[in-house]
Structure 1
Amino acid sequence: MNQASLYQNANQVQRHDAKLILEEFASTLQWRSDGEDALLDVGSGSGNVLMDFVKPLMPRGAQLVGTDISSQMVGFASQHYRREERTQFRVLDIGCERLPQELSGGFDHVTSFYCLHWVQNLRGALANIYDLLRPEGGDCLLVFLASNPVYEVYKILQLNEKWSGYMQDVEQFISPLHYSSNPGEEFAQLLNEVGFIQHNVEIRSEVFVYEGVRTLKDNVKAICPFLERMPAALHEDFLDDFVQIVISMNLQQGDQANGQDQKFISPYKLVVAYARKSPEFVNNVLVESPHQKRLKGLN
């Protein structure tokens, strides 16, 4: 997923979900009274979700650090947003065994959108997120895929001799919760194990519609990890096979003879988790939305 400029223009699903969820949780995040919040974002990619939807919520004096495992993504974001004050981008593998010392315990908030499904060791990633937050407390908002039809498409493609050599490790790119019978409960247990005192975990069933074959292919090109391993001359053939499998799974609407009229339906399950490190609970920052009412009953 290192084609940063393509990802910048083909991450409609990620932008759509991040915008709605941030609007929902904006008043739940525990902003500092002095306005000097420090926020680290995990898996910022090309940076547009962070800069378009997270930064506008933050106090003017806040510090913002965007991170990604991809040096290409970080380089793109650093260049594209180089004029943004109090903002930096840096390489970070949230699944690493030990955090860089300068990041540990330095943040009031951690956010992450559409990243943690790439991390097979979820417990390790959550332990690192916990350690990124200040010792005295902090909170996090984590959004990622529990399941998605794309994972089943990958598994079918991996059985094809044309592609199997490029996809032998396909299970490493499937969300660790994809096969879970109760992903919400499983993730909540992981939050407990690493030390989060209060948390609210929801599994939301969502649907996104891709308008036309080209839109679907561009999105796949932006996120598919296997294309980077193939000669460029094979990319379109791979994408054609991808589309045919999607159609065979009855996820297509419209006239197949006219690609412009085709729509592709992607039903997916999304983990939306908000967690606090500190046992203190500031009731006056909460309003009466449904998820916030549930937060009041958390132990």
Structure 2
Amino acid sequence: MLCCSYDGVVKKKSGLGATCVTRHIADQKEVATVVGLDISKDMVNFATSNNTSEKASFHVLDIQEESGIREDWRGKFTKAVSFHTVHWIPHKERFLANVHLCLEKGGELLFNLFAGVPAIKVARDIKTHPKWREYLTDYTLKLYEWPKGDVAGMSHMLEECGFEVVTCEVHTLTFKFDSLEKEKAFSRPLLGHLQYIPEEKQDDFLEDAISMARGLYQKDEQGRVIWEMPQIVVHARKL
């Protein structure tokens, strides 16, 4: 089993999530070994130090670079997974080609990625907010989501990279929160901007970002914002 990750916004939480997923997979009786990959050395060190399964190992690799793929990985994996990761990868065709290289014939790939999330528009637009732009001059949001609803485009890319598309569908996660503090906790992982904002101003920044986002979402009958996270979910097989 191959688990692909990518250095996210909130490093400790990202590493913990990847470690838990990999460990859960390794705990399944039918799984022989699991290899976890991440571009960040810090994430790999974190995952390795928190790993309790002898069947799991972690390695530093930019999945976009074929040169880093070891010979003993090529054509050796039965399955590859990547959850909430591919929208951090700019060159998705390289990701697909290199995962294809690692899978055996008939091997399966499962992944998801954001596709037209309104909150990500806020994450981009807030950089020019009059109150915050002076702090964010050097910040770039390195998140590369897929166009909303573009199942055909993703299916075509998969086929070009040598996969048979089993399913390629739009799924929308929805969240409702009953307090501003919960909305802040939910928003933090998407806002790498916070590393540029003075700590004493971060709550104010989060409130402005949430206020902007609320204008893009509908509300339920109790007046709670319905936070929607559209994504593309893919199950593919190597031909």
TM-score range (shorter-chain normalised) is 0.7 to 0.9
More deviation, 228-237/105-114: 228-237
**1:7 to 1:140, Cα distance in 2 relative to 1, 3 A:** closer
1:196 and 2:163 are equivalent in the alignment: yes
What corresponds to 1:269 in structure 2?
230
Q: Is the 8 A contact 2:139 2:196 kept in 1?
A: no
1:207 and 2:174 are equivalent in the alignment: yes
What corresponds to 2:111 in structure 1?
142
What corresponds to 1:92 in structure 2?
61
Structure-2 separation of matches of 1:71 and 1:263: 40
Which residue identity is paired with 1:185? A
What corresponds to 2:194 in structure 1?
227
What corresponds to 1:77 in structure 2?
47
Q: Is the 8 A contact 2:155 2:165 kept in 1?
A: no
Q: Secondary structure at the match of 2:168?
A: strand
Give a deviation string over 1:242-290, Cα, whole Å, max 9, x none: 12212333456698xxxxxx84421122211111113xxxxxxxxxxxx
Q: Secondary structure at the match of 2:77?
A: coil
Which residue identity is paired with 1:186? G
**1:124 to 1:111, Cα distance in 2 relative to 1, 3 A:** same
**1:47 to 1:223, Cα distance in 2 relative to 1, 3 A:** farther
Structure-2 separation of matches of 1:217 and 1:78: 30
Structure-1 separation of matches of 2:178 and 2:12: 20
Unaligned stretches of 5+ residues in structure 1: 9-43, 256-261, 279-299
Give a deviation string over 1:175-205, Cα, whole Å, max 9, x none: 1x23x5x511000000011111343211123
Structure-1 separation of matches of 2:169 and 2:91: 20
State the identity %.
24
Structure-2 separation of matches of 1:91 and 1:254: 47
The counterpart of 2:92, out of the listed 109, 122, 147, is: 122
Q: Secondary structure at the match of 1:268?
A: strand
Q: Is the 8 A contact 1:207 1:265 kept in 2?
A: yes
Give a deviation string over 1:130-157, Cα, whole Å, max 9, x none: 11213x4411111221121211211331
The counterpart of 1:48, out of the listed 3, 20, 28, is: 20
Q: How many residues get paired?
A: 230
Q: Is the 8 A contact 2:47 2:58 kept in 1?
A: yes
Which residue identity is paired with 1:192? E
How far 1:238 sits from its partner (Å)? 1.9
**1:50 to 1:212, Cα distance in 2 relative to 1, 3 A:** farther
TM-score by structure 2 length? 0.81
1:152 and 2:113 are equivalent in the alignment: no
Q: Secondary structure at the match of 1:276?
A: strand
Structure-1 separation of matches of 2:224 and 2:37: 33
Structure-2 separation of matches of 1:227 and 1:97: 33
What corresponds to 2:207 in structure 1?
240
Unaligned stretches of 5+ residues in structure 2: 1-7
Which residue identity is paired with 1:50? T
Give a deviation string over 1:74-123, Cα, whole Å, max 9, x none: 22222222x21111122222223533224333311110110011112111
Structure-1 separation of matches of 2:46 and 2:9: 10
1:68 and 2:38 are equivalent in the alignment: yes
Structure-1 separation of matches of 2:128 and 2:177: 25
Q: Secondary structure at the match of 2:186?
A: helix
Give a deviation string over 1:18-56, Cα, whole Å, max 9, x none: xxxxxxxxxxxxxxxxxxxxxxxxxx854223334x344
Structure-2 separation of matches of 1:7 and 1:267: 21
Q: Secondary structure at the match of 1:47?
A: helix
